[in-house]
Amino acid sequence: MTSPEIEARIRALPKVELHQHVDGSIPAEVTWELMRHYRLHPVETLEEMRTRLELQPGEEGTLLAYLDKMHYPLWITQFYENIAKVTEAIVDEAAAAGVKTLELRYSPIIHTFAGLTPRQSIRAVLSGMNHASHRHGDMRLGLIVIAMRQHGPHIAKILARQAISEAQHLHARVGVVGFDIAGPERGNPPRLFQSAYDIARLGKLGLTVHAGEDAPAQYVWEAVDRLGGQRIGHGCAAAEDPELLRRLARDKITVECCLSSKRFLEAGVPVAICCDNTTVSRTDQVRESLQAAEQIGLDAVERIHRAASAHSFIRPELALKDTEHDL
């Protein structure tokens, strides 16, 4: 099969995206347009702005440089209508890449500096997702609320409660389907956030945990044993722990990867091919799936996307049941 034929099959494949951040996925053109509208642009051209939003050659492999790319969008995503607008644009881009199941994840607290409450911040991104859903009726959409580790366990508990108030299974619209922690791992072990995860579990939210990206495998163990994580974000360190791999495989705990690790696949661990931050990494689901196909083959990539759909936290049947009960 030729490269154009492989790309055509990848583009036609109904893809599943389970790990994509709002802040790092806003199209550069949209950030530029809003910055110019508010006369906040620090440079004079879109191309110059791209260098501040997208990882440049020579910056790869540096986590600090990577995270730096997410600062500028925060200048304009402090206002309800802007958050809704950028979210719509993200969904539109995912739809263009053939994504049929899209879970966006979002940290409400870092969008409250201009006065929004955490719940208003959550509602803003859901507004964008709901508006976009009218244009893309064949997409399944859901939001995962993130608590940042550096803000501490108490803020995480507050956010878990706010997330439940907008849970998709309590409303007849796109809503919150999951809960997550992210941010600096070292010194902020998962066990500190057990109470927040207990709340999220009681609220019937799916549980995912950023773990093992910049910390040892012990953090992944804690994410599974103490927090009850059903999915693990990145989980790189787990690949070096054979016992942990067996545990993830046994309990069918999905690892959300930027590129599927052969080691996870060989161990029977469920994986999902994920973009993380499409703008910062200058990627999309087509590109990620093509790169994965080069490593593990096209048939394997198609199987991964089909299987990943079953690990999504989006459960329309639960929403219907609860909505009927409320009525």
pLDDT in tens, 234-254: 999 999 999 999 999 999 999
The answer to whether the beta carbons of residues 285 and 275 sit under 8 Å apart is yes
What CATH number is given to the structural domain containing 196?
3.20.20.140
**pLDDT band at residue 67 under the 50/70/90 scheme:** confident
**pLDDT over 90, % of the chain:** 88
| pLDDT tens-place string over residues 6-64 | 999 999 999 999 999 999 999 999 999 999 999 999 999 999 999 999 999 888 776 67
pLDDT at 319: 54
| pLDDT tens-place string over residues 156-170 | 999 999 999 999 999
Q: Is 274 among the domain residues?
A: yes
**pLDDT band at residue 263 under the 50/70/90 scheme:** confident
Q: Is 44 among the domain residues?
A: no
Rounded CA separation 209/151 (Å): 16
pLDDT at 66: 83
Q: Is 48 among the domain residues?
A: no
SS3 175: coil
**pLDDT band at residue 322 under the 50/70/90 scheme:** very low
pLDDT at 312: 98
Q: Is 164 among the domain residues?
A: yes
pLDDT at 317: 65
pLDDT at 320: 46
Q: Is 247 among the domain residues?
A: yes
pLDDT at 86: 98
Q: Is 19 among the domain residues?
A: yes
Q: Is 64 among the domain residues?
A: no
DSSP output for 264-308? HHHTT--EEE--B-TTTTT--HHHHHHHHHHHH-HHHHHHHHHHH
> Strand order of the sheet with strand 271-273?
15-21, 99-106, 140-148, 176-182, 206-211, 231-234, 254-257, 271-273
Number of domains in the chain: 1
| Residue 182 confidence (pLDDT) above 90 | yes
pTM of this prediction? Answer: 0.94
Structure tokens at 297: 């083959």
Rounded CA separation 59/167 (Å): 38
Rounded CA separation 89/93 (Å): 6
Structure tokens at 266: 């060989």
List phi, psi (to 5°) of 206. Answer: -70, 150
Q: Is 69 among the domain residues?
A: no
Q: What average pLDDT is seen over the chain?
A: 93
Rounded CA separation 16/139 (Å): 10
User: Mean per-residue pLDDT for 86-113?
Assistant: 98
Whole domain around residue 122: which residue ranges? 3-26+77-326
DSSP output for 62-87? -HHHHHHTTTGGGGTTTSHHHHHHHH
SS3 226: coil
